[in-house]
Amino acid sequence: MQITFIRPFLVLTIVLSLTAIRADKFVHPVDIARQMQSKFKALKTYQAHFSLAIKDMNKTKTSSGVATYAEGGKLNFTFSQPKGDIIVSNGQMLYVYVSRLRAVGKQPLKDKDKDGKPLYTAGTAEGLSNLFRRYHYRFDSPEQPRMVNGVSYYVLDLKEKEITGGYDKITLFVKSDTYLIEKMNASSPSGRTVELTFSNIQLNPNVDPKLFQFKEPENAKIVDNPLTTE
């Protein structure tokens, strides 16, 4: 698992929308973005299996596990591959534990950028709003929704407004009957690509609050503020 993908990864792993729009009605990308933001604010909890493939310098690394979200920016990503890795946020602090390195990355989530906006708002409605503010977005083709591998999706292409060195292009696959994001592709100017998919999605399940409490392992190396633009 690479710490550098955490920022966009977390922002996108909990983006949801619960209200369908009639297929016989003209739909603009802005309509979908608004619905996603509105419904995400009302979401209490979320859980799904995820799989992630990161390709960099002709090498592909894969990982998978279970992602859990609770309102207030609380997150837990428990990895089955690589086993032992975990990402936890209590809404104030983000912890990234890499088992093979016995290293913990600690990132405050309330740091501000030059405009006074939170730098890392993953897992919040504000984080989703920031995503659509930072990127231009449009449908990838006139036909929407469209079939992709036998599934009906609204497909949104996002392009970064100002180049930051992070992921400048993102494609979201939003299932047309549930308005859940089931797949995301992203790429950076450096050539790195990311493919993230979700399955077995559960909305508002009962989740254990302890999932969002992180206990630093003994003898683990602590790295402060590890996140980068990628």
Is residue 87 within 8 A of residue 96, CB to CB? The reply is yes
What are the DSSP calls for 97-120, one per residue? Answer: EEGGGTEEEEEES--B-TTS-BS-
Q: Looking at residue 33, what is its pLDDT?
A: 84
* Per-residue confidence (pLDDT) for residue 228, from 0 to 100: 54
Residue 153 Cα to chain centre, angstroms: 18
Q: Where are the domains of the chain?
A: 3-215
Mean pLDDT of the chain: 83
User: Three-state SS string across 127-148, please?
Assistant: HHHHHHHHEEEEECCCCCCEEE
Contact assessment for residue 1 and residue 82, using Cβ atoms and an 8 Å cutoff: yes
Determine the CATH number of domain 3-215. Answer: 2.50.20.10
Distance of CA 71 to the CA centre of its chain: 15
Beta-carbon contacts of 119 under 8 Å, excluding residues fewer than 6 positions away, are 111, 112, 113
Greatest Cα-to-Cα distance within the chain, rounded to the nearest angstrom:
59
Structure tokens at 133: 């503010």
pLDDT at 47: 95
Report the distance separating Cα 137 and Cα 151, nearest Å.
Answer: 21
Q: With a cut of 80, say whether residue 13 has pLDDT above it.
A: no
Give per-residue pLDDT as tens, 188-225. 999 999 999 999 999 999 999 999 999 988 889 999 88
Lowest mean pLDDT across 46-60, 124-138, 156-170: 124-138
Helices (H) and strands (E) in the chain, counts: 3, 13
DSSP code of residue 187:
E
> Which distant-in-sequence residues (6+ apart) come within 8 Å of 74 by Cβ?
89, 90, 91, 123, 211, 212
Reported as a pLDDT band with limits 50, 70 and 90, residue 17 is very low
pLDDT, tens only, 88-98: 999 889 999 99
Contact 103, 223 (CB under 8 A): yes
Which residues sit opposite 17 in a β-bridge? none
DSSP state of 84: T
CA atoms within 13 A on the CB side of 101: 14
